Structure formats: C-alpha cells, structure tokens
Amino acid sequence: MPLTTVILAAGQGTRMRSKLPKVLQPLAGQPLLAHVVATAVDVTGEAPIVVYGHGGEAVQAAFADAPVEWAEQAEQLGTGHAVAQALPRIADNDIVVVLYGDVPLITATTLNELIAAAGDDRLGVLTAQVDDPTGYGRIVRDAADRVMRIVEQKDANPAELEVNEINTGFIACRASLLRGWVNRLSSDNAQGEYYLTDVIEMAVADGVEVRTAQPYAIEEILGINDKRQLAAVESALRARRAEALLDAGVTLADPNRVDIRGTVVCGSDVFIDVNVVFEGEVKLDDNVRIGPNCVIRQTQIEQDCEILPNTVIDHAHIGPRCTIGPFARVRPETFLGSEVRIGNFVEVKKSAISKGSKVNHLSYVGDSRIGENVNVGAGTITCNYDGANKHRTVIGDGAFIGSGTQLVAPVRIGEGSTIGAGSTISKDTPANALTLARARQRSIEGWQRPQKQPKDGKK
Ligand code: UD1
Ligand code: CA
C-alpha cells in the first residue's frame, strides 16, 4: 500500500511570541518540524509533503537539504483547505496520513495503528480519551458506538461538550476518497473555516466505515501553541529518551536531569550523572562513566573512560581507559589514544594524543601530535597561531615538557626530550637531551631595595 504523509505547518503561532516561525522552534535541539519529518520518513520511507504558509521562506530554507516536498497554503482557511493544497500531488491509490508540524511526539508505532485502521477503504481517525477535552473537537458516536461525526468545540452543543473522546487531528485515508470529500467542504461553521473534521460525516454518508485508533502514550498528541506547551513537550521527550537509555541498561543518576538532543548509543554498564547534555550522535562504550554537568557533542568515548565533572567534549574520539576533567574542554578533531589523562582547565583542539600521555593542568594543546607516554607540565601552551596561520607542534614519545613552557609552532620536540620549566621553545629539540630556553638565574649580593622618598616639607 503506497503511503504519503502530509504535514500541516501553515499556522502562524503568534502565541509563541517569537520571530521564529512556530515549526522552527527548537525541541531537543531540532526544529519541531524536523521531528515530524523524521517520523514521517520512518513510516513511509518517502519524503512528506509539508503544507507551509507563515514564515514559509525561513521554513523552506531550514529544510533545504531535508527530504521534503512543499505545498503552499497562501491563506490559512482551515485544516481541510490545508490538506486540499497537498492533494493534487498525491496519486489516487495512496493512503494519505495527515500529520501536524506542531505535534512532534507522534510515534511511528501509533501511526502504523492509524494506517491499519484506515486499511484500503476505510477512514482512520486517531482519537483519545482525556479528562479535560476543552478546545478539542469531540467524537460523536451513535447508540451502536459507531463514529458519526466530529464536532468542533465552538460548534458543539452542551451534550457534545461533555464528550471526553477527542479528535487528535491525525487521520488516514485513501487519496481518492479524501479528494472527493475535501473538495465538497464548506466553511459554514462557527469559525468560518474549511474543517478537515467534516470529512468524517461525509464518509459516514457515503457508507465508508470510520475506524478509530488510539495513541500509545498521551504525550504523542500534545500540540504546541505557546512556550509553556513547548516546555511540557520538551520534558516529555526528555523523559522518553531517558527511559530508552534505562531500558538499554544505562544507569542514570536522575532520569529527569539528562538531556539527549540527538542520539546516544551505549554499551553495557554505562553510568551518567546529573545535568549531562548530549548533542548530535554520541557513542559511549562499555563501563564509561560521565560525571555531572558535562556537555558531550558528536563524540565516541571508548570503554572504561571516566569523564569528570564540568567537562565539554565536542566532535572528538576518546580511546579506552582515558580520564578527562574535571573542567576540561576537548574541542573538535581531537583523537585520544588509550589511557590518556586530560586534567583540569586543559583545552585540547585538533590534536592527536597517544597512549599513556598526560596533560594534567592548565594547558592549551592545539594543532598538535603528541606521542606515547609524554608528560606535559602545568601551564604549557602550544603557540599555534601567528595571527594569520596555524602551525603544528609535534612531540615525540616519552618527552617531558616542564611546567610553564611555550612551544612556538611549527616546532618538533624529539623523543625522550626534556624541556626545562618556563622555556620558550621556538626551535626543534634533539631527542633524549635537556633543552632550556630561559634567562639564566643570577643573584646580586648586597643589593639594596629602593627606599621610600620623604614627601615635600616633611622630615
Ligand atoms: C484541530 C481539529 C480538532 C482537533 C485539534 C487537535 C479541525 C477543524 N479541528 O483543531 O478537531 O481536536 O486540531 O489539536 O481540524 N493549519 C494549517 N492551515 C490552516 C489551518 C491550520 O496549516 O489553514 C495547521 C496549523 O498550523 C496547526 C494545525 O493545522 O498545526 C491545526 O490547526 P488549528 O487551527 O490549531 O486546529 P484546532 O483548532 O486546534
Ligand atoms: Ca491547535
């Protein structure tokens, strides 16, 4: 059965009080619409048709590289009118699934239930039982419990307002049937809009069975109109992703205090402390421990590593059994071998550091290649930038860099080289020798400190 998804995203979203179009508001670091597009692609394997209107240029620009087809709805005349803008692009035999750009937590599992309810020749409607149905369209059933129609809140009579089964908005139906009904919609109602919901009554009149499906979790149907609802959905998504980690066997110090703005794949016996933020694709191998307040972006951390509190790691690859932090910053294109130690207030950028090497305190290592078992003393700086170009520092295996050294790149430190503390090294150093590049210390016997001069007029 060929499937096409239509995502309604033309609404303005004034209640967001933001210049950013509603469907571009970030949820877990990605635009709302991106979540819906991803689910649509997941269900159909094809690009969805997005009905856009308000902020159309910004929305299209944000999705320029995404698998999306566009249908413009210049004037927002209602949900039925919105679907009508997409239908000309859809083949008669396709099953159309209507989604919403501002209802981001819908799952593929639930949509497949809805598609099954529609089958080949029925109308599928996703409904839910809620305690407070205010604002939603109500599902009106007959004595035999068959769905007869949907009545919008503003058009409902007192008895209908009592109904707790609501329309989530999601429907599925063969395009040929939907086309016939959508073309006959009228705007003769309380809001003067072309209601998509009126197709239910038309289906019943045509003898087409209306079958309902229900979401697995109520958060799936939460729509977003303001920042409160955005925050509520963010927290629901945070919980969903934290639960997935727990189900995969990860230990979380507090599932309410881990943010996954991307994907995290974990090995066994991974521990994640509180207030950790993950972005992009992150992979944590067996026995990795992440301390509190870390931000980890687009990085693989191999087994048995410990990341200590307040560490930021971005676009890096961390070999096994490393210890990083606390308060370390590992920047893009950093590759650490095994058993590397990066300590507090150390910044590493675009560098490869091999097995067993240590940069323990207050250092900057950039554009460098550091061999095995190197010890970089506290306060060492690679001076990699001359104001115009970046230059490389290469440090051989077993070198010992004394504290407070400046390595003025391009420069090579030989294997087994020892650099005296406080040196400014601007020339390559030989292997296995001590190199010192600092003023020689001297002492002046009998030297007098300056005395304070008496002020004018005083003795
Ligand atoms: C709609 C349903 C209601 C349901 C509710 C669920 C109709 C008539 N009513 O009501 O039964 O309970 O959703 O949340 O369908 N949109 C467009 N173009 C338009 C109008 C709307 O793209 O011309 C988009 C909006 O951006 C929004 C969605 O469609 O994402 C829903 O529109 P909205 O006006 O919020 O519908 P509701 O009144 O909430
Ligand atoms: Ca709405």
Distance 79 CA to ligand 1 centre (A): 5
- The atom number, within ligand 1, closest to the CA of 81 reads 23
Those residues whose C-beta lies under 8 Å from the C-beta of residue 278, and which sit 6 or more positions away, are 258, 259, 260, 261, 262, 264, 296, 297
Q: Using a 6 Å CB cutoff, which residues line ligand 1? A: 8-11, 51, 73, 76-79, 81-82, 100-102, 136-137, 150, 152, 166-169, 195-197, 223
Q: Are 174 and 96 in contact (CB under 8 A)?
A: yes
Ligand 1 pocket test: pick from 25, 79, 106, 198 the residue with the most ligand atoms within 8 Å of its Cβ.
Answer: 79
Catalytic residues: 361
Closest ligand 1 atom to residue 82 Cα is 18
For the chain, the structural domain boundaries read: 3-221, 240-435
Q: Which atom of ligand 1 is nearest to the CA of 11?
A: 26
Query: Of the bound ligands, which one is closest to the alpha carbon of residue 156?
Result: 1
DSSP calls for 171-225: EEEEHHHHHHHHTT----STT----TTHHHHHHHHTTPPEEEE--SSGGGG----
Q: What is the pLDDT of residue 458?
A: 62
Q: Distance between CA atoms of 438 and 412, rounded to whole angstroms?
A: 18
Atom 27, ligand 1: residue with shortest CA distance: 11
Print pLDDT tens along the chain (459 aa): 799 999 999 988 889 999 999 999 999 999 999 999 999 999 999 999 999 997 789 999 999 999 999 999 999 999 999 999 999 999 999 999 999 999 999 999 999 999 999 999 999 999 999 999 999 999 999 999 999 999 999 999 999 999 999 999 999 999 999 999 999 999 999 999 999 999 999 999 999 999 999 999 999 999 999 999 999 999 999 999 999 999 999 999 999 999 999 999 999 999 999 999 999 999 999 999 999 999 999 999 999 999 999 999 999 999 999 999 999 999 999 999 999 999 999 999 999 999 999 999 999 999 999 999 999 999 999 999 999 999 999 999 999 999 999 999 999 999 999 999 999 999 999 999 999 999 999 999 999 999 999 887 665
- The CATH superfamily holding the domain 3-221 is Spore Coat Polysaccharide Biosynthesis Protein SpsA; Chain A (3.90.550.10)
Q: Which ligand is nearest to the CA of 86?
A: 1
Residues 6+ apart with CB under 8 A from 324: 305, 306, 307, 308, 311, 313, 318, 330, 336, 341, 342
The residue whose CA has the least distance to atom 26 of ligand 1 is 11
Inter-residue contact 7 to 72 (CB < 8 Å): no
How many secondary structure helices (H) and strands (E) does the chain include? 8, 39
Longest pairwise C-alpha distance within the chain: 116
Q: Which atom of ligand 1 is nearest to the CA of 80?
A: 15
Helix (H) or strand (E) holding 358: strand 358-361
Compute the distance from residue 199 Cα to the ligand 2 centre, in Å: 18
pLDDT at 359: 98
Ion ligand 2 contact residues with beta carbon within 5 A? 223
CA of 236 to the centre of ligand 1 (A): 22
How many angstroms separate the CA atoms of 186 and 283, rounded? 53
The Cα–Cα gap between 143 and 196 comes to 24
Note the CATH number of domain 240-435.
Answer: 2.160.10.10
Closest ligand to 8 CA? Answer: 1
3-class secondary-structure state, position 70: strand
- Common-topology check for domains 3-221 and 240-435: no
The pTM assigned to this predicted structure is: 0.92
* pLDDT score of 103: 98
